[in-house]
Chain A
Amino acid sequence: MSNETQYARGYEIGGIEISKSQVRSVVLHLGLYGFAGLFLVPYVWMASTSIKPEYLIYDSSPHWLTTDVTFEWYRVILFESPVVSWTIATFALAAVGTLVVVLVDSMAAYALARLEWPGRRIVMGIILASFMVPAAVNLIPIYAIVSELGLVNNLLGIIFPYAAGVFGVFMLYQFFKNIPEELEEAARLDGFSTTRIFFRIAVPMQFPAIAALGLFSFIGLWNSFLWPLIILQNEAMYTLPIGLVTLETQEVTDPGLVMSGAIIASAPLLILFLAMQDYLFKAVALQGTVK
């Protein structure tokens, strides 16, 4: 374009332009860190409520930090509520469910991407089309089927419908497609069976993608709410999200109790997140680039 604007943002032109970009940078930092500060407010409130004694919680002027620290809420929630059994149930749901999803999805994705079998293309078409089926739509019929199968109050009643989702198959399909043909041919010439090729070549090669799917499934199941709410009808079997909400809706709700419970429910995932952050970001980013 024009020559006047060409040098307008360069450093060499003099004092004014330099400070302009510095101003920009300051504004950018102020904006970002200001917003980040706002984003942290709910965490601070959760943490402080969980260690404040009752008189500070109910005080009409907020106490963000306190020197009067109590661990009474943690004692009550750990020893006088079913939170420990909820945690075990949540962990069992997330762990078993993740295993099922990862195994079943990677096998199916491999079969669809690498093996020739009658009906493969039709099946792939149906799987792609069912991306359009929103989860909430099937709520009633799946509930009817799960209760017919006697899986109400059973973690499998949550895991099976979850594992029927097509996202994992579709995602891994793209990755298995990328394995070079020659590698598989060579393995076949060496007398490898399909099962062996799958476990010894395909899975190790695309392990990052499979692990990413595992991570999503674990987080998704740990945090799942609607389906466990419908399927688990016995308080002792609740998962953490459901249990916490029943704590909240009891006649006398103690904010300190609910917030300490919220911290107990979130801590495992927040630690997992901090430990695997870079990896998780890569995995999430995959979603948007899979076409």
Chain B
Amino acid sequence: MSTGSTADTDRPKGLLERLPFVSDSRSARESLAGIGFASPFLALFGLFLLFPLAYGFYISLFNWDPVFIGQSEFVGLSNYTRMFEDPVFWTSLTNSLLWTLMIVPLVITVPLVLALAVTKDVRGKWFLRTVFFSPSMLTVAVVALIWMQLYEPTYGPISYYLGFIMENPPNWLNSHTYAMPAVVIASLWGGMGVNFVIFIAARQGIPERLYEAARLDGASTWQMFRDITLPQMKHALLFVMITSLIASFQVFEIIFIMTDGGPGQNTQTMVVFLYEAAFGNQNFGYAAAIGYVLFVILFVISVANYYLLEGYTSRVEGEVIEGDTNE
């Protein structure tokens, strides 16, 4: 640990320097400075991130009373067994999976296509970029409130225009079938900007000469997309995929505001379920248990995702290299 120099070993040692990890005054000062600089963050990190991880499990073993903690009743693992017997848990888990299946492909492909199109030779790049990114600057509350107006069944414009092509346009947010897709669309509008900008940067980072060489070889647009664009954007895609998956599994705000999990429990996802358990039903121990199960699920998803994608992208890269050597 120490970066001791031999020059000042003759000097008498101070108290700090006698500690095993400190061998001279330079590294003693550096150690002190390092700990001092890091400690404000480490204090917050410890108290509000690390400790809660353990504390959350502890809480999940109780019938937790947030006001009179001493009166919390120890219930062992029964919050967990109760959860697995609770049909609402399974509904929420299914809804979260459904939401993820709908939103993740959209929130990757739509901004990817737009980013690739915008980086081509088009007029008004600045305008287009601004338009596609700007909804991401809005708070989710505003996104939700605007779309609630748009979906309004009696005076909202969407139902009005659909009225021309179908007899009974769906009452979007109150429809068992259409509530979730409706929220997905709103969420896509308000949430794809960051991915869009990341994809633009990644696309601009690809050396143009790769495309020029491919064009000389007579590669089609599709071949260039598959063999150059995708593998070259591997890191950005991986990053976007993992963050989108994790974020979508934790969706809360837009659903809470637009449908509050309804109609019935049709859009109730895991975090809405967790929130309702704690702040609706005052079941804090149960909610903590839900949080823990969510943690395990997300952990498995992101690890699996990482290895699957690593494997896939390196295979694609391998093919490209093979192709090169064949020529």
The chain A residues found within 8 Å of chain B, CB to CB, are: 1-6, 8-9, 25, 28-29, 31-33, 35-36, 39-42, 45-46, 49, 57-62, 64, 103-105, 107-108, 110-112, 115-118, 120, 123, 126-127, 130, 132-145, 147-148, 160-161, 163-166, 169, 194-195, 198, 219, 222-226, 230, 240-242, 244-245, 248, 255, 258-259, 262, 265-266, 269-270, 272-274, 277, 281, 284-285, 287-289, 291
Contact = CB atoms under 8 A, between A and B. Distances in A.
B278 A287 contact: no
Interface string B12-50: 000000000110000101111111111011101101111
Interface in B114-150: 114, 117-118, 120-124, 127-135, 137-150
Contact of A288 (B35, B137, B202, B217): B202
Contacts of B274: 136, 139-140
B154 A42 contact: no
Chain A interface mostly: helix
Interface stretch (B51-59, B172-180, B308-316): B51-59
B230 interface: no
Chain B interface mostly: helix
B48 to A, nearest CB: 4
B31 A116 contact: yes
Contacts of B279: 230
A103 B38 CA distance: 11
B243 to A, nearest CB: 9
A208 to B, nearest CB: 15
Contacts of A45: 146, 149-150, 157
Given A118-B21, A245-B141, A42 B131 contact: no
Contacts of A224: 139
A145 B55 contact: yes
9 contacts: A1-B219, A39-B135, A134-B294, A140-B278, A241-B140, A262-B146, A266-B139, A272-B137, A285-B197
B292 interface: yes
Interface of B: 1-3, 21-22, 27, 29-38, 40-42, 44-45, 47-53, 55-56, 59, 64, 66, 69, 114, 117-118, 120-124, 127-135, 137-150, 152, 154-157, 160-161, 189, 194, 197-202, 205, 215-219, 235-236, 239-240, 246, 249-250, 252-253, 257, 270-271, 274-275, 278-279, 284, 287-288, 291-292, 294-295, 298-299, 302
A241 B55 contact: no
Q: Which of A59, A117, A123, A166 has the most CB of B within 10 A?
A: A117
Given A140-B288, A277-B130, A265 B189 contact: no
A115 B118 CA distance: 43
Nearest to A124: B38
A108 B42 contact: yes
A111 B38 contact: yes
Given A145-B52, A225-B141, A289-B201, A42 B217 contact: no
B131 A39 contact: yes
Q: Which of B1, B38, B278, B287 has the most CB of A within 10 A?
A: B38
A35 B196 CA distance: 14
Contact of A285 (B50, B51, B127, B200): B200
A161 B47 CA distance: 8
Contacts of B32: 117
Nearest 7 A/B pairs, CB to CB:
A117-B34, A285-B201, A288-B198, A108-B41, A5-B218, A115-B34, A141-B52
A225 B139 contact: yes
B324 to A, nearest CB: 13
A195 B45 contact: no
Contact of B218 (A1, A25, A137, A230): A1
B241 to A, nearest CB: 11
A226 B144 CA distance: 14
B123 A29 contact: yes
A133 B155 contact: no
Given A108-B41, A116-B30, A284-B197, A6 B216 contact: yes
A240 B139 contact: yes
Given A29-B122, A136-B252, A143 B278 contact: yes
Given A116-B27, A262-B145, A265-B139, 9 more contacts: A8-B218, A29-B122, A45-B149, A111-B38, A136-B274, A139-B271, A140-B288, A141-B52, A273-B134
Contacts of A57: 155
A203 to B, nearest CB: 12
A116 to B, nearest CB: 5
B112 to A, nearest CB: 12
Contacts of A287: 194, 198, 239
Contact of A266 (B138, B152, B284): B138
Contact of A169 (B41, B48, B144): B41
B56 A140 contact: yes
Contacts of A143: 66, 278, 284
B142 A265 contact: yes
B42 A123 contact: yes
A118 B219 contact: no
A66 B30 CA distance: 67
Given A60-B155, A115-B33, A6 B218 contact: yes
Given A145-B55, A277-B130, A269 B138 contact: yes
A260 B183 CA distance: 22
Given A110-B37, A111-B37, A288-B202, A225 B140 contact: yes
Nearest to A39: B131
Nearest to B237: A288
Q: Which of A112, A245, A255 has the most CB of B within 10 A?
A: A245
Contacts of A115: 30-31, 33-34, 37
